[in-house]
């Protein structure tokens, strides 16, 4: 009985540690991030983009194969990422009057931390994204992939 409790506690700590890696302030690193969002900040329940604050909720951890499909990571070494639910209206303008998902509401965010690099993908659509290479290549709901560094 104690063994099950210890395993459950270890799993919970690992789950919180994965999501805790994403917290903090991140500098825009790729051209997409530099031209649309600029630097971002992530707390356990909020994301800050261009001085605007949005509430988010962590839905689940992404498996290494899902991370590999979404962020072109090596599935053998990829760690877990996270899937978040959020709501960013299409009217919300960021840098250079850009939006995240054009005329669609941004409803999902996937993240993956590797060292001091954070990769973020934003999605529209009420249904959660499917994280397979084929589904993502043909997805009209993938709004963009952004890279940030600490």
Candidates 70, 108, 82; CA nearest to 17 is 82
Contact 84, 108 (CB under 8 A): yes
Look at residue 148 in the predicted model and tell me its pLDDT: 97
Burial classification of residue 16, based on how many CB atoms lie within 10 Å of its CB (0-12 exposed, 13-18 middle, 19 or more buried): exposed
Positions in the chain whose pLDDT score sits under 70:
1-20, 75-76
User: For the chain, how long is the longest CA-to-CA vector?
Assistant: 58
Domains, the chain, ordered by start: 2-149 (2.40.128)
Report the alpha-carbon distance of residue 112 to residue 68 in Å, rounded: 10
Contact 118, 25 (CB under 8 A): no
**Tokens 């270890």 belong to which residue?**
10
pTM of the model: 0.85
DSSP 8-state class, residue 130: P
Degrees to nearest 5, angle at CA 84 with 59 and 132: 90
């Amino acid at each position: 009985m104690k063994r099950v409790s210890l395993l459950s506690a270890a799993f919970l700590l690992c789950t919180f540690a994965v999501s805790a890696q994403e917290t903090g302030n991140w500098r825009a690193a790729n051209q997409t991030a530099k031209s649309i969002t600029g630097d971002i900040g992530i707390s356990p329940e909020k994301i800050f983009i261009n001085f605007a604050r949005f509430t988010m909720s962590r839905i689940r951890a992404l498996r290494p194969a899902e991370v590999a499909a979404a962020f072109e990571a090596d599935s053998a070494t990829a760690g877990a990422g996270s899937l978040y639910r959020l709501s960013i209206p299409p009217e919300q303008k960021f840098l250079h009057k850009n939006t995240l998902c054009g005329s669609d509401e941004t409803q999902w965010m996937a993240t993956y931390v590797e060292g001091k690099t954070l990769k973020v993908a934003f999605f529209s659509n009420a249904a959660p994204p499917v994280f397979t290479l084929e589904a993502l290549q043909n997805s009209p709901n993938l709004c963009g992939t952004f890279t940030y560094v600490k």
